[in-house]
A and B are shown apart, each in its own frame.
Chain A
Amino acid sequence: MITHHPHYELLNAYVEGELPASLSAGIAVHAEMCEICAKNIQRITEEAAANTFSDDANVYNSLSKKVITDKAFDNISEFDLMMKSIMEDDSITEMMTQEPLDVEIKGTTYPLPTALRSMAMMGWQKLGKLSRARINLNEGSLHTSLLHIDKDGGVPSHTHKGFELTLLLEGSFEDEKGTYVKGDFIWLTDKHTHTPHTKEGCLCYTVADDALQFTQGLSKLLNPIGKFIY
């Protein structure tokens, strides 16, 4: 059973379209597997829509710094032109049917979640039982990857300078705090130190905003792994 979910503030920012693509996709993939969060997202969306479009919208938005100027409405004829040009094209948008995509690593094929299907994915790099495919989203210090850990593999004890989101797509893993299963949305910060290990193997979607810091000795030796995972 999924026990780790995105917090309300995160869902709210997701609904308003304010999160980076990497985190938005993480929430979308979680919601595909979690009915509770899917339902809450639906409700937050309804509320955001009603707030944005109600007649009270002006009052509501006056709390924020940017208040709309009357200037935008001055040029009625500009809107008129826009409206007419839109209606000149009579074509309609057909529904798209999409073929499911797969991703293959170490002899196993996994279905690729919808939210990730158009993202630019680099090739797999392998280091022992760890395999990583970078997802190139160009989001500055945010690094997004698919991470595969083979049966009986793990990552040495580490903490995080910024945050690390791990979303379990398939399989399970354990750390000091417990067991995580498919769908779990695991948000770790610098307050957390952990040593993930997997018996059955797992595929994760990860977003990290800073390199891992290894907390045990041999840090120099382990450093390449930190860079590898980040």
Chain B
Amino acid sequence: MYTPWTYNSAPTEIIIRNSTMNSDEQQQLKSWLYDIATDRDKNAFTALFSWFAPKIIQFGIQKLNTESAANELLQETMTNIWRKAHLFNGDKGEATTWVYSIMRNLSFDMLRKVRSNREDTLSEDIWPMAEAQLVQEDSFDDHLMSSNLLKNIDILPEAQKEVVKGLYLEEMSQEQLATKLAIPLGTVKSRLRLALIKLKQQIGESK
């Protein structure tokens, strides 16, 4: 199983073949994800589910060998998409890459359960990117600050407005705000993320 890979080959930058996904399709997937994130949009989720399901089943059968395991992978992947859509950042990558990472992580943990009889979920530590990419960009960039973004603050639900005001008008840190509002830091970050998506949609930067 373990081929003796050469161990000190100097890596070069890998050239990737042209993707067979067209950009309209990628835009459509992104837009469904944004609708799920901001509005819990069931039609968008239904569309996204139908688009990904056959391919996830196919991947599951290849990696996990049985149809029942593939079905479990589908269920888990789609549940994660439904609950984590607000963590997707379309500026950083395609929807397909994000969904693939979620699916691969779940499949890794399922495989590990079979091979090593362990119920741990190490994938989240091994591939923290899906969530971690947010931690690095959990603030508005200058370009957005200088735009009219904050003028649209009134379209936001109260909870998100409170977070944006605290961070950008009262200039509190995320930690200070979490303490003041008595909510976990993660909730501050999630609300900020949702507010960002919504405000960007408003001025037509996303979608």
B8 lies within 8 A of A3 (CB): yes
Measured CB to CB, the residues of B under 8 A from A are: 2-11, 13-14, 16-17, 19-21, 40, 42, 45-46, 49, 52-55, 57-59, 61-63, 65, 67, 70-71, 74-75, 78-80, 82-87, 93-94, 96-97, 99-101, 104-105, 107-108, 111-112, 115-118, 120-128, 131, 134-135, 184-187, 189-190, 193
Please report the C-alpha to C-alpha distance between residue A135 and residue B107 in the assembled complex, in whole angstroms: 22
| Shortest beta-carbon contacts, A-B, top 8 | A187-B7, A49-B100, A54-B20, A17-B108, A94-B186, A50-B19, A189-B4, A7-B5
Please report the C-alpha to C-alpha distance between residue A220 and residue B83 in the assembled complex, in whole angstroms: 58
Please report the C-alpha to C-alpha distance between residue A43 and residue B17 in the assembled complex, in whole angstroms: 10
Q: Which residues of A contact B94 (CB under 8 A)?
A: 46, 49-50
Verify if A219 is at the interface (C-beta below 8 Å from B): no
Q: Which of A79-87, A145-153, A168-176 contacts B (4 or more CB under 8 A)?
A: A79-87
A94 lies within 8 A of B104 (CB): no
B67 lies within 8 A of A71 (CB): yes
Verify if A52 is at the interface (C-beta below 8 Å from B): yes
- Closest-by-CB residue of B relative to A178 is B8
Give 12 new A-B contacts, CB below 8 A, not counting A64-B62, A187-B6.
Answer: A15-B104, A24-B126, A25-B126, A49-B94, A49-B99, A50-B94, A52-B55, A66-B65, A89-B82, A91-B83, A115-B122, A118-B121
Please report the C-alpha to C-alpha distance between residue A2 and residue B191 in the assembled complex, in whole angstroms: 39
B100 lies within 8 A of A94 (CB): no
A-B residue pairs in contact (CB < 8 Å), sample of 22? A17-B107, A17-B108, A20-B116, A21-B126, A43-B16, A44-B14, A48-B104, A49-B97, A49-B101, A53-B52, A54-B21, A82-B75, A90-B40, A93-B83, A94-B186, A95-B135, A97-B186, A115-B125, A118-B120, A119-B122, A187-B7, A188-B7
Please report the C-alpha to C-alpha distance between residue A73 and residue B5 in the assembled complex, in whole angstroms: 39
Please report the C-alpha to C-alpha distance between residue A4 and residue B8 in the assembled complex, in whole angstroms: 5
The number of inter-chain residue pairs (CB within 8 angstroms) is 212
B10 lies within 8 A of A45 (CB): no
Please report the C-alpha to C-alpha distance between residue A206 and residue B184 in the assembled complex, in whole angstroms: 37
Q: Which residues of B contact A221 (CB under 8 A)?
A: none
Please report the C-alpha to C-alpha distance between residue A4 and residue B5 in the assembled complex, in whole angstroms: 12
Q: Which residues of A contact B75 (CB under 8 A)?
A: 82, 86
Verify if A106 is at the interface (C-beta below 8 Å from B): no
B4 lies within 8 A of A163 (CB): yes
Q: Which residues of B contact A45 (CB under 8 A)?
A: 97, 100-101
A94 lies within 8 A of B184 (CB): yes
A115 lies within 8 A of B126 (CB): yes
Q: Which residues of A contact B184 (CB under 8 A)?
A: 94
Known: A53-B99, A93-B87. A79 touches B49 (CB 8 A): yes
Please report the C-alpha to C-alpha distance between residue A209 and residue B105 in the assembled complex, in whole angstroms: 24
Known: A72-B61, A83-B78, A187-B7. A95 touches B190 (CB 8 A): yes
Which one, B40, B61, B78, B135, contacts A66 given CB within 8 A? B61
B14 lies within 8 A of A40 (CB): yes
Closest Cβ–Cβ distance, residue B117 to chain A (whole Å): 6
Verify if A195 is at the interface (C-beta below 8 Å from B): no
A7 lies within 8 A of B9 (CB): yes
B86 lies within 8 A of A92 (CB): yes
- Closest-by-CB residue of A relative to B8 is A4
Docked complex: A14-36 residues within 8 A CB-CB of B: 15-18, 20-21, 24-25, 28, 36
- Closest-by-CB residue of A relative to B93 is A46
Q: Which of A55-63, A124-132, A197-205, A222-230 contacts B (4 or more CB under 8 A)?
A: A55-63
Which one, B5, B96, B124, contacts A53 given CB within 8 A? B96
Q: Which residues of B contact A115 (CB under 8 A)?
A: 122, 125-126
Please report the C-alpha to C-alpha distance between residue A108 and residue B87 in the assembled complex, in whole angstroms: 37
Please report the C-alpha to C-alpha distance between residue A46 and residue B62 in the assembled complex, in whole angstroms: 19
B8 lies within 8 A of A116 (CB): no
Please report the C-alpha to C-alpha distance between residue A177 and residue B42 in the assembled complex, in whole angstroms: 60
